[in-house]
């Protein structure tokens, strides 16, 4: 009988301890994140640049994802790989076209310069949506200048005739990239 009392008391204490969890702990966490040296394109509400990221155990693998929102307090500069500590918070009642998560920089752990000759791929067209503008030369989302090298005619034809198009680039400067090949 005494053992039953202790067992029941232990069950009651455990259930009280675990049922009184603080909602704030479920809404916020800190993660490690790696930001790649280039941004990629995507379609959100409209065409956008995304950060190319790895989180947690994916860091150091070949698995990269896209982050469609910004990291508060983080100033991204192309041509560098960043290892960060980031606080992720759940947003109550997020806007219909916005993220349900808020990302805030906690610390920059390391920054590594990437050689300008390092090749990287960017989506130039997805499902018929082109990310190339030609108002005053070739640009990616009217922001990053593209030197199409000797591939300008092929780029024009591919944009016109393909639904999906990927370009391989190398960096010329922080705001200019050079097209190396098309896929």
- Domain count for the chain: 2
Q: How far is CA 36 from CA 3, 98, 140, in A?
A: 59, 23, 18
Q: Does 87 or 14 have the greater pLDDT score?
A: 87
Residues 32 and 94 in one domain: yes
Whether 20 is in a domain gets the answer no
Whether 177 is in a domain gets the answer yes
* Cα–Cα dist 108/155, whole Å: 38
pLDDT at residue number 97: 73
What is the percent of the chain where pLDDT is above 70? 86
Say which residue the tokens 């990287």 belong to: 120
> Residue 32's domain spans which residues?
25-113
The DSSP secondary-structure symbol of 113 reads E
Whether 1 is in a domain gets the answer no
Q: Using CA of residue 103, residue 104, residue 107, residue 113, what is the dihedral sign? A: positive
* Cα–Cα dist 26/33, whole Å: 19
Whether 13 is in a domain gets the answer no
Residues 145 and 170 in one domain: yes
Residues 130 and 108 in one domain: no
Whether 167 is in a domain gets the answer yes
Residues 126 and 105 in one domain: no
State pTM to two decimals. Answer: 0.81
Residues 61 and 128 in one domain: no
- Considering 66, 94, 113, which residue would you say is the last residue of a domain? 113
Whether 12 is in a domain gets the answer no
pLDDT per residue as tens digits for the range 90-142:
988 877 777 889 999 999 999 999 999 999 999 999 999 999 999 889 999 99
Residues 129 and 166 in one domain: yes
Q: How far is CA 123 from CA 51, 119, 128, 158, 177, in A?
A: 13, 14, 11, 12, 14
């Amino acid at each position: 009988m005494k053992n039953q009392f202790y067992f029941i008391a232990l069950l009651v204490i455990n259930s009280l301890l675990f049922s009184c969890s603080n909602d704030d702990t479920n809404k916020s966490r800190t993660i490690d994140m790696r930001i790649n040296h280039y941004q990629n394109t995507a379609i959100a509400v409209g065409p956008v640049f995304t950060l190319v990221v790895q989180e947690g155990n994916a860091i150091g693998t070949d698995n990269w994802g896209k982050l469609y929102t910004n990291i508060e307090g983080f100033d991204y500069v192309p041509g560098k790989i960043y290892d960060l500590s980031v606080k992720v918070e759940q947003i109550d009642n997020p806007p219909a076209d916005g993220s349900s998560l808020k990302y805030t920089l906690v610390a920059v752990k390391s920054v590594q310069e990437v050689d300008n000759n390092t090749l990287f791929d960017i989506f130039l067209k997805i499902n018929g949506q082109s990310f190339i503008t030609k108002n005053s030369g070739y640009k990616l989302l009217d922001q990053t200048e593209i030197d199409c090298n000797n591939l300008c005619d092929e780029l024009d034809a591919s944009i016109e005739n393909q639904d999906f198009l990927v370009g391989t680039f190398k960096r010329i400067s922080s705001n200019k990239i050079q097209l190396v090949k098309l896929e």
